[in-house]
Chain A
Amino acid sequence: MQKIKGKLVLMDGSVYEGDLYGRRDAVGEVVFTTGMSGYQETLTDPSFCSQIVVMTYPLVGNYGVSPCFNQGERCFFQGYVVSELCDYPCNWRSEGSLPAFLEQQDVPVLAGVDTRAITRKLRNYGVLKGVITGLDTGEEKIKEMLGEPDVHDQVKQVTVREKYRMGEGKYRVAVMDYGIKRNILQYLVSFGCRLTVYPAYTSAAEVLADDPDGIFLSNGPGDPKDLPEVIENIRQMIGRKPIFGICLGHQLLALASGYDTYKMKFGHRGINHPVRDLLEHKICISSQNHGFAVDEKSLDDRVEISNVSLNDNTIEGLYYKTHPSFTVQYHPEACPGPGGHEYLFRRFVKMMGGDR
């Protein structure tokens, strides 16, 4: 992979120099994620669409890449910022190196950077827009790039083009794909679900016409408020079938129920987030990736907060009292990250009349 001197320039003017790999510049919201393993799952998670992702763990690519780790069909990152990229991976599953994978995915990478310095910046100032470019790119050009309008159609970029089926189980689940991670599909199938996966903008009527036993609202990228049409579709599905939502799906159901969401300072991205389950009276460590959250103040008594973050008390899950629906903000399907959340899938199956 060809390497030139490059830099990450943030909206506030701060500059971080490193080695730039890749053929294009990158512009996007800069976020950091703290997982120490699971880089490929993160890279292929469609929820990161159009973002520049900073890895806080300094050594990335140690165990190479393998198709079995992919969570989406490709990498939707704008850019990637790491301290050290490993070109000599070693693991029995490895089928290639991460640098080669990134080149093939056409993701610009800035390596050799003080990623902790960037993380501290984002922690203190909140997420910032940034540009990855060559070291000699001039101020004017950078200003121009930073001035580009923010992206709002990420879900369109990542959702499936046509509906498809998956699994042979007993429960027919309509999966709304806003950028779904593969492991969610696998989990649902393993819990006995027969899935029909719909493009994000499929109308409620079309979905309901297929008469599913339950509806699943997936994770996905971006601001949930960018999706009024999707929200309207969900509103029409509320109460018709049991609904289970994860991450963006959680936010969308809240919006469809008349509640509000807001943008967090720097979000939750990592695989070590403690979440208290107020219904089950237990604490689980979870995988998280979200920059928006449901606003507690906007809730009413039709809904109960079922999960909260132990770190900052933000809402991590909602249980709807007037219809059989529940959602979580975090990623019970893991990949990357810890398991131990299977009970949520079990609960969904139960809502659909199952006994598992």
Chain B
Amino acid sequence: MPRVQGVKKVLVIGSGPIIIGQAAEFDYSGTQACRSLKEEGLEVVLVNSNPATIMTDTHIADRVYVEPLNVEFLESVIRKEHPDAMLATLGGQVGLNLAMELDEKGILRNYGVRLLGTQIASIKRAEDRELFKEAMEKIRQPVPESTIVETVSAAKEFAHKVGYPLIVRPAYTLGGTGGGIAHDDGELDDIVNKGLTYSLIGQALIERSVAGWKEIEYEVLRDAEDNCITVCNMENVDPVGIHTGDSVVVAPCQTLSDREVQLLRQASIDIVRELKVCGACNVQLALDPDSEQYYVIEVNPRVSRSSALASKATGYPIAKVAAKIAAGYTLDEIKNAVTKKTTACFEPTLDYLVVKFPRWPFDKFVTADRTLGTQMKATGEVMAIERNFEAALLKAARCLEIGCRHLQLKHLAGLPLEELRRRVATQDDERLFAIAEFLRQGGTVDEVHRLTKINPWFLQKIVRIIEMERLLQTGPLTAELLRRAKKLGFADEVIAGYTGQTWQEIRQQRKAWGIIPTYKMVDTCAAEFEAATPYYYSSYAMEDEVEVTSRKKVCILGSGPIRIGQGVEFDYCTVHSVWALKELGYETIIINNNPETVSTDFDTSDKLYFEPLTVEDVLNVLDKEKPEGVIVQFGGQTAINLAGPLAKAGIQILGSSVDSIDRAEDRERFDEVLTQCEISRPRGHSVTCLEEALAAAHDVSYPVMVRPSYVLGGRAMEIVYNDEELRHYMEHAVQASSDHPVLVDHYLMGTEVEVDAICDGREVLMPGIMQHIERAGVHSGDSIAVYPPRSLSEHVIKTIIDYTVKMALNLEVKGMINVQYIVRDGNVYVIEVNPRSSRTVPFLSKVTTIPMVDVATKCAMGLSIREQGYKPGLQYFPDYYACKAPVFSFNKMSNVDITLGPEMKSTGEVMAVDYQFSRALYKACIASGINVPHEGAILITVADKDKPEATEIAAGFLELGYEVMATGGTAAYMREHGVEVETAVKISEGTPNLLDDIKEGKIAMVINTSNHGGTAERDGFRIRRSTVEHAIPCLTSLDTAKALQRVMAAMRHRRIVSVVALQDLSWDD
């Protein structure tokens, strides 16, 4: 039972959708914490809008509310559940901000909800800049000279007093949104303006910049008895100036003397004690590289991305322990779950180091500003563990899933030294690779240090990597040299590149010489005590300490870093697959490298290997463990891509075969499948030049969907409507050739429908069908999906069932299959089939209550659907509706066009459930961050082809009492058709124009579809970006606009706030 008296029911606030600055780490820590509280006999009520999480599984919390994370809905949950207490420090900044709002509005007091763990007063003293400064002055901890401003002029006044450069940090935001470093008045003006908009309280902190200093972090835990420990310290390879979330980070600190370590450790502890944090706390410090002077930069009195990293880096479960502290325990009363003998009151010590490398979305957002600063831009991260820095760094590079196997990027290799020097001086995502290239071509450590302020210790390690490259180039490849190369972390493939062999040859030679990796345990104590956690990393050392059991075992491949297109949903699937295999009595082995996730928690699988997901790294583990086979269908594209090479190496792929995967992925082979099944798809051709493209387009007729079969990093997919646009695409966006053809398919403007099904090889289980709100052409990951479908005829549903079953059986699927259809005029067309788990599986599992991954895993292992107690076929539709809506992080990414299209842009998703459709949709919109306006003006500016539809929408909004504004042409057209709208001034028509209207808050929402080319396109882009900067909703699909209009209409005459626990969803049959 918990130590805190009078507490039986605890409310936990999750962190909501994945956005830049807030990724899967809060699913990991939240899941750990919920379990930890339940262990104490507490009833846990969870609110989190993100369905793609383990923590929203109905067995993790007693009551799970997948509801919007705002005060209104939280109050509703509190009113319904009457929790005695609440934990505010597990849901990231979102959870923390909500807790403060609930407190300020008196809701906690009114309902008698007490806060467990860190109290509001402590949170405020850490979060409010002025209070924080006071607290630090009180205990004589140095903070950089700073001031808090609410206006730009106040910022300038301060700047003229202390001088540039200055850092601007808006108060109460996520991941440093809107912050930046200003070097002059102009930049200051710009950054402060933006920052004030993003700050929840309209404040920004301006402070003296300590850019270039060492950036050090401490993870601290404190209990109510004032016992205080530091779990881990971390050193950013990138000095102060780049957000720690965008920095390469190493743990423990490498370049600090013990004196410096202890100085900063003591400072961190003193701060946490002064703030009376009761639980976890992150302290960020800047240390002068040339003295022992330091500044406290920031304190986060909650679990964080860094605490997740520290947990994985050390094996110390920070969130679990923080939850126990909240439940009233002291550190010495909590058992060390790793050693099972010692207590949680100790400081982990490592006998390895970890390197964290951020994963940025610039492969998807090719136009985005890639420079890094105080605003975080990474969507995810990877972690590598090794016993030397070089090897950890190279492992991390291999984990990134950006096609590199080494600290080397192909497109940098040929650049002249001068260009490389410029790249070294540019703080962007490729800087470390540019540094390596610069050093390779003769640049010096001194110069790189001068340009980057990166500590020469790190740079020297890169030099060592380059020296090894030279040795390998010169040869000969002796056993001794190969062993040294492997110790330094070189991949077989990379060694093969230098010696002119294949990676298979290197691998064979290596094994013949007995050079194989050993696996070491992460045990929190540098082997001082025996540990029970089966959590390993590879190292080319002497002793392998992993005991291979004689149990039957299966290896599950994870999905690597969180990135656009591959989010936390695949981690959800990985974890469920492990659980299902455990139920079947298998020993489960996970290979993954994402420190933010539940799958890499030490008690998820029987064994966890923290390794890159490359063929070599995976094969090394498999060589050792010799499992019955490998499951690839839950690890997203990362794992699927490994299926072929692994099968070739003789590994059994469990579930759908490599041939099934290939038949679904290869265009020609898939055409055969469709022919055999008598299913149609939109007509198309593959072309190799403009002439062919034009001919193809004329043959299938416009509009056409065009995409390269091989993505060169340009805009990949587009819908084009005429010859001119096609010409533009072929000439600018792609380089077509016979090796890299471009696919030209007829674009069917119809309803998009998505199905996730499970096949056991004989029969097919279809838990549900989802209908998209946006018409085909918007990537399925960026569409609002509705379950069950609302407007499909019985005939269409029958056809979809028939097609899905036929294809699943024809492809011999064993496990999961995902199909995307277009429905037009009662006809059903297939767009895409993936014989693997998809993004929508967690959503569909939750709303249908069928544990899809579990069932699919068991099918992959040979059980039938019926044996598992399920009836094949499409399951009954429930009497409630569920919506899944995408969430974007555009405010973190300047220069990215927010128009929805065939390329996915969202970083996360939310779900909402209700017995009324419009209420479910409303909740989904609110949860996804669309600030649905209750009144005001709606600006409509659309492409010519969209004018008729937009006119209907405009009429609808006028009817609802909104003002509608439109630009010249659109306005004229609407008035011609009897819809009286106001005319907005176009950008090209001079100032003041509609941009000023947006800036001044005169416009509450924008509906914009874009024309291709010319000023219209450029103006459209500026309008859309300005909506992002001023945080007003901008809808770029008329379908979304129509749906939202429906919601707004429903809001007029119905109570819209109503919450329902997943446990209460009933099936009225």
Residue positions of A touching B, CB distance < 8 A: 16-17, 32, 34-38, 41, 56-59, 62-63, 66, 69, 83-84, 86, 88-93, 113-117, 119-120, 123, 270-274, 276, 281-283, 285, 310-311, 334-340
Please classify how large the interface on chain B is, using the bins under 10, 10 to 19, 20 to 34, 35 or more.
35 or more
Known: A338-B262, A339-B266. A283 touches B331 (CB 8 A): yes
Q: Which residue of A lies closest to B252 (CB)?
A: A36
The 0/1 profile, CB within 8 Å of A marked 1, for residues 48-90 of chain B is 0000000000000000000000000000000000000000000
* Complex interface: stretch among B526-534, B653-661, B713-721, B856-864: B526-534
Inter-chain contacts of B351 with A (CB < 8 A): 34, 56-58, 115-116, 119
Do B258 and A69 touch across chains, with their CB atoms under 8 A apart? yes
Inter-chain contacts of B526 with A (CB < 8 A): 34, 56-57, 116, 119, 270
B350 on interface, CB distance cutoff 8 Å: yes
- Apart from A89-B457, A93-B259, A338-B265, 10 more pairs, CB < 8 Å: A34-B351, A34-B526, A56-B349, A57-B351, A84-B387, A88-B457, A114-B518, A123-B529, A274-B346, A311-B529
Do B456 and A88 touch across chains, with their CB atoms under 8 A apart? yes
Do B332 and A90 touch across chains, with their CB atoms under 8 A apart? no
In the bound assembly, the distance between CA atoms of A336 and B347 in angstroms comes to: 14
Do A59 and B353 touch across chains, with their CB atoms under 8 A apart? yes
Do A38 and B258 touch across chains, with their CB atoms under 8 A apart? yes
Q: Which residue of A lies closest to B336 (CB)?
A: A311
Which residues 307-343 of B sit at the A interface, judged by CB distance below 8 A? 331-332, 341-343
Do B255 and A62 touch across chains, with their CB atoms under 8 A apart? yes
Do B257 and A310 touch across chains, with their CB atoms under 8 A apart? no
Do B262 and A91 touch across chains, with their CB atoms under 8 A apart? no
Do A58 and B387 touch across chains, with their CB atoms under 8 A apart? yes
B548 on interface, CB distance cutoff 8 Å: no
User: What is the distance, in angstroms, from A120's C-beta to the closest C-beta of chain B?
Assistant: 5
User: What is the distance, in angstroms, from A334's C-beta to the closest C-beta of chain B?
Assistant: 6
Do A117 and B541 touch across chains, with their CB atoms under 8 A apart? yes
Partner of A272, one of B254, B349, B352, B527: B349
Inter-chain contacts of A281 with B (CB < 8 A): 225
Inter-chain contacts of A84 with B (CB < 8 A): 387-388
Which residues 247-273 of B sit at the A interface, judged by CB distance below 8 A? 252-259, 261-262, 265-266, 269
Do B542 and A16 touch across chains, with their CB atoms under 8 A apart? yes
Partner of A37, one of B258, B388, B543: B258
B525 on interface, CB distance cutoff 8 Å: yes
In the bound assembly, the distance between CA atoms of A318 and B9 in angstroms comes to: 44
In the bound assembly, the distance between CA atoms of A9 and B254 in angstroms comes to: 30
Inter-chain contacts of A114 with B (CB < 8 A): 518, 541-543
Known: A91-B255, A311-B346. A83 touches B387 (CB 8 A): yes
Inter-chain contacts of B541 with A (CB < 8 A): 114, 116-117
B699 on interface, CB distance cutoff 8 Å: no
Q: For the complex, would chain B's binding face be called helix, strand, loop or mixed by DSSP majority?
A: loop
B794 on interface, CB distance cutoff 8 Å: no
Inter-chain contacts of A36 with B (CB < 8 A): 252, 261, 349-350
Inter-chain contacts of B644 with A (CB < 8 A): none
Do A339 and B262 touch across chains, with their CB atoms under 8 A apart? yes
User: What is the distance, in angstroms, from B966's C-beta to the closest C-beta of chain A?
Assistant: 62
Inter-chain contacts of B389 with A (CB < 8 A): 59
Do A285 and B542 touch across chains, with their CB atoms under 8 A apart? no
Do B460 and A334 touch across chains, with their CB atoms under 8 A apart? no
Q: For the complex, would chain A's binding face be called helix, strand, loop or mixed by DSSP majority?
A: loop
Inter-chain contacts of A120 with B (CB < 8 A): 527, 543, 545
Inter-chain contacts of A336 with B (CB < 8 A): 258, 262
Do A90 and B456 touch across chains, with their CB atoms under 8 A apart? yes
Q: Which residue of A lies closest to B330 (CB)?
A: A283
Do A274 and B255 touch across chains, with their CB atoms under 8 A apart? no
Inter-chain contacts of B226 with A (CB < 8 A): 282
Residue positions of B touching A, CB distance < 8 A: 225-227, 229, 252-259, 261-262, 265-266, 269, 289-291, 331-332, 341-343, 345-353, 387-389, 455-457, 460, 518, 520, 525-530, 541-543, 545
Do B345 and A283 touch across chains, with their CB atoms under 8 A apart? yes
Inter-chain contacts of A66 with B (CB < 8 A): 257
Do A273 and B346 touch across chains, with their CB atoms under 8 A apart? yes
* Residue among B256, B259, B261 with the highest chain A CB neighbour number at 10 A: B259
Inter-chain contacts of B347 with A (CB < 8 A): 272, 274, 285, 338
Do A282 and B388 touch across chains, with their CB atoms under 8 A apart? no
Inter-chain contacts of B331 with A (CB < 8 A): 283
In the bound assembly, the distance between CA atoms of A45 and B388 in angstroms comes to: 26
Do A272 and B346 touch across chains, with their CB atoms under 8 A apart? yes
Do A340 and B542 touch across chains, with their CB atoms under 8 A apart? no
Do A93 and B257 touch across chains, with their CB atoms under 8 A apart? yes
User: What is the distance, in angstroms, from A314's C-beta to the closest C-beta of chain B?
Assistant: 13
Inter-chain contacts of A93 with B (CB < 8 A): 257, 259
User: What is the distance, in angstroms, from A219's C-beta to the closest C-beta of chain B?
Assistant: 17
In the bound assembly, the distance between CA atoms of A100 and B785 in angstroms comes to: 66
Do A92 and B291 touch across chains, with their CB atoms under 8 A apart? yes
Partner of B348, one of A88, A90, A113, A272: A272
Inter-chain contacts of A59 with B (CB < 8 A): 254, 353, 388-389
In the bound assembly, the distance between CA atoms of A21 and B351 in angstroms comes to: 22
Inter-chain contacts of A271 with B (CB < 8 A): 258, 349
User: What is the distance, in angstroms, from B688's C-beta to the closest C-beta of chain A?
Assistant: 53
User: What is the distance, in angstroms, from B1002's C-beta to the closest C-beta of chain A?
Assistant: 56
Do A69 and B257 touch across chains, with their CB atoms under 8 A apart? yes
Do B289 and A92 touch across chains, with their CB atoms under 8 A apart? yes
User: What is the distance, in angstroms, from A297's C-beta to the closest C-beta of chain B?
Assistant: 22
Do B261 and A57 touch across chains, with their CB atoms under 8 A apart? no
Do A285 and B528 touch across chains, with their CB atoms under 8 A apart? no
Inter-chain contacts of B261 with A (CB < 8 A): 36-38
Known: A58-B353, A62-B457, A337-B262. A116 touches B332 (CB 8 A): no
Known: A119-B528, A274-B332. A63 touches B345 (CB 8 A): no
User: What is the distance, in angstroms, from B973's C-beta to the closest C-beta of chain A?
Assistant: 68
Inter-chain contacts of B269 with A (CB < 8 A): 340
Q: Which residue of B lies closest to A57 (CB)?
A: B351
Inter-chain contacts of A123 with B (CB < 8 A): 527-530
Partner of A270, one of B253, B342, B352, B528: B528
Do A116 and B543 touch across chains, with their CB atoms under 8 A apart? yes
Do A56 and B256 touch across chains, with their CB atoms under 8 A apart? no
